[in-house]
Amino acid sequence: MKLKPTCREVHQLVSEGQDRDLSVVEKIRVRVHLVVCDACTTFNRQMRFLRHAMRKFEIADDVPPTSPPPPARREPE
Please report, as a single letter, which amino acid is at residue 62: D
Asked if residue 49 lies in contact with residue 20, where contact means CB atoms within 8 angstroms, the answer is no
- The confidence score (pLDDT) of residue 54 equals 84
The rounded distance, in Å, linking the Cα atoms of 21 and 55 is 17
- The confidence score (pLDDT) of residue 56 equals 81
- The confidence score (pLDDT) of residue 77 equals 63
pTM over 0.85: no
**Residue-wise pLDDT tens for the chain (77 aa)?**
666 789 999 999 999 998 899 999 999 999 999 999 999 999 999 999 998 888 887 665 555 666 666 677 766 66
